[in-house]
């Protein structure tokens, strides 16, 4: 569960740029509050040297 900031704290917004390939169709659902949540997975490659690649899988969750 995410906590709310105190009066002395402020929240920052982090921005991430992740370029890769979708590994499954995005799934969107509505919460009881009316807000929407979308989940999807992105695959990227990690280069291990000597021309070898290893896949990395990133589970992404977005909300409004």
The pLDDT score that the predictor gives to residue 1 is 63
The pLDDT score that the predictor gives to residue 25 is 96
Encode 15-49: b = buried (16+ Cβ within 10 Å), e = exposed: eeeeeeeeeeeeeeeeeeeeeeeeebebeeeeeee
| Residue position matching structure tokens 């509050």 | 33
The pLDDT score that the predictor gives to residue 11 is 67
pLDDT by residue, tens only, the chain of 64 residues: 677 767 667 667 788 899 999 999 999 999 999 999 999 999 999 988 888 899 999 999 998 8
Q: Which residues pair with 19 in a beta bridge?
A: none
What is the distance between the alpha carbons of residues 17 and 50, in angstroms, rounded to a whole number?
Answer: 26
- The continuous run of DSSP H or E covering 55 comes out as strand 52-63
């Amino acid at each position: 569960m995410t906590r709310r900031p105190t009066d002395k704290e402020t929240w920052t917004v982090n921005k991430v740029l992740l370029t890769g390939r979708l590994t499954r169709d995005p799934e969107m659902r509505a919460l009881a509050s009316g807000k929407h949540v979308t989940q999807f997975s992105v695959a990227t490659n990690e280069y291990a040297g000597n021309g070898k690649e290893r896949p990395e899988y990133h589970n992404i969750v977005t909300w409004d």
